[in-house]
């Protein structure tokens, strides 16, 4: 079964407690937390202190996506803040293998994210070590962008690489994901749907989560 991970970046931070309660009580599977530093991406979001507060009330997996330069400096602090999984960008470090091992040593699941322009081939030497591959289907930094449909080919490429190399990794897709494209994303091989604006800007967010959960996809990717 595929997973749905609402992105708190799209929530109303004046009512963050309500957003946390909503995810806890909905059919969503994970919390997705986008950390931005204003350097690697042209925006600043939140850091360890907010994640620590979310972790106090969250009853589900905390999926932390670091859109920051030199992420290796901060792995331990995000793990201590309550992250269950930490994903770093391949483009943000010159020592990707080392950072992935840091994540695992900190007791978290390790993921690597790829920006739209980054080929899947950069994962060739590390795919067996990963728990998650995050395909960015928009240019990172801001919510509410349109899905880049060329990302479907990258999802399929990542899926094939994972299968051929017998990697434990699952594929997550983030950026412009909603009811209009979720089935195609799942059929391409994704297992986790990150949905921000599609959920939190909807009139009935809980209904959107239920609808996303009900969509059928690639049965081989849902194991």
**Active site residue ranges:** 34, 174
> Structure tokens of 111?
């993921």
- How do strand 85-89 and strand 61-67 relate by DSSP bridges? parallel
Q: Note the helical H segments in the chain.
A: 16-25, 48-57, 75-81, 96-105, 151-165, 182-188, 197-200, 205-214
CA distance 34 to 220: 28
Report which of 156, 158, 160, 155 is spatially closest to residue 173, judged by C-alpha positions: 155
Contact 64, 36 (CB under 8 A): no
Q: Give the angle subtended at the CA of 139 by the CAs of 106 and 45, to the nearest 5°.
A: 55
CA 33 from chain centre, in angstroms, equals: 8
Burial class from Cβ neighbours inside 10 Å (0-12, 13-18, 19+) for residue 91 reads middle
């Amino acid at each position: 079964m595929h997973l749905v991970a609402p992105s708190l970046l799209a929530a109303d931070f004046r009512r963050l407690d309500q957003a946390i309660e909503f995810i806890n009580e909905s059919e969503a599977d994970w919390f997705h937390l986008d950390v931005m530093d204003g350097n690697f991406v042209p925006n600043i979001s939140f850091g360890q202190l907010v994640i620590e507060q979310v972790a106090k009330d969250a009853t589900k997996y905390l999926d932390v996506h670091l859109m920051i330069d030199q992420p290796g400096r901060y792995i331990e602090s995000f793990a201590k803040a309550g992250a269950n999984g930490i994903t770093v960008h391949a483009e943000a470090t010159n020592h990707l293998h080392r950072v992935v091992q840091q994540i695992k040593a900190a007791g978290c699941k390790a993921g690597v994210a790829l920006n739209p322009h980054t080929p899947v081939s950069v994962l060739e030497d590390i795919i067996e070590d990963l728990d998650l591959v995050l395909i960015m289907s928009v240019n990172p930094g801001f919510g509410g962008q349109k899905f880049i449909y060329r990302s479907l080919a990258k999802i399929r490429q990542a899926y094939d690489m994972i299968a051929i190399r017998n990697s434990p990794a699952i594929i997550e897709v983030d950026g412009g994901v909603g009811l209009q494209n979720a089935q195609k994303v799942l059929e391409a091989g994704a297992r986790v749907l990150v949905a921000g604006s599609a959920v939190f800007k909807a009139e009935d967010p809980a209904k959107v989560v239920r609808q996303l959960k009900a969509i059928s996809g690639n049965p081989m990717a849902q194991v």
